[in-house]
Amino acid sequence: MRGFEQGQPVLLISTDCVEKFAALLREAAQTLLGGRMLRRSLVSATLMLVSLGVQAAEVVWLDRFVRASAQIPAPWQVVHLDKKVSPTRYQLKTWDGVPAIEATAEHSMALLARPVEVDLNRTPVLCWRWRVDAPLVKADMATKAGDDYAARVYVSFALPPDEMGFVLRSQLKLARAIWGDAVPDAAINYVWDNRYPVGTRKPNAYTDRTRMIVAESGAVNAGRWVVARHDVRQDVIAEFGSAQARLIQLSVASDTDNTGERAHAGFADFHFVARDAACSFEAP
């Protein structure tokens, strides 16, 4: 980590603001004997300090990996839902200068997941970089047989009890009895698709408790890092009608168990920012 703890907010202050503040302080020092000008300069400097606080941008980083490794560090862990299917393989790799999670799927499926605690009212926008060697060929997100993706980013939510009726609670209880506690109340998948255009939204072919959003599509951007930015709070409200949904987990996956294809993908630089703030990426 580069001077801060994982999952903690970082305040970024623009260089322009710092330079303006320094200039005002120099002006104040140079006019030390001119009472009126001094007072004016100090007032301006104070206002600039307020401006610095307003312009500070909160960035909540999940992880910033620094070296290649065959083992993904905690709190990441592989979630292997179907033991009859081979798990996707994950490791850390520096890929075109970007330390990243590398996913390799060969007729396989497993999530690489980590818990997340983020205040979506303050920092609702999820930013990351990802890449694929190529999109899948036979996948079709509208069908169970085609429910595979070269890359996907999976965000899971806990919903307030008063937003879930008896039937839904019973369905979730049954699903967890079969698949384990990894089954969330609701989930959104941002996928790199092969067939549908960016912006397409569909319920998952297996369950309407998971919604699929096409964040990247086709082969145009394959073979290089691509920046993604999505307002998670806005999306969970649009898909599930819940402004009180609590984000509890983020997962990545390359998923090819249904189509039997091979996929190779990378994921990096997951962080959350305010709605009007820019994502924060370093050049590779």
pLDDT value of residue 166: 66
pLDDT at 180: 63
CATH of 63-273, one of 1.10.10, 3.40.50, 2.40.50, 2.60.120: 2.60.120
Q: Are 148 and 192 in contact (CB under 8 A)?
A: no
- For 13, phi and psi rounded to 5 degrees? -115, 130
| Residue 236 neighbours by CB distance under 10 Å | 25
CA distance 213 to 257: 20
Output the CA–CA distances (angstroms, integers) from residue 36 to 33, 39, 41, in the order listed: 9, 5, 9
Q: Which pTM value belongs to this model?
A: 0.79
pLDDT per residue of the chain (284 residues) written in tens, 0 to 9: 333 344 444 444 444 444 554 454 455 445 444 544 444 544 444 444 444 443 446 899 998 888 788 889 999 999 987 888 999 999 999 999 999 999 999 999 999 999 999 999 999 999 999 999 999 999 999 999 999 999 999 999 988 877 776 666 666 666 656 666 667 789 999 999 999 999 999 999 998 889 999 999 999 999 999 999 999 999 999 999 999 999 999 999 999 999 999 999 999 999 999 999 999 987 66
Give domain limits for the chain.
9-55, 63-273
In this prediction, residue 163 carries a pLDDT of 74
pLDDT at 169: 64
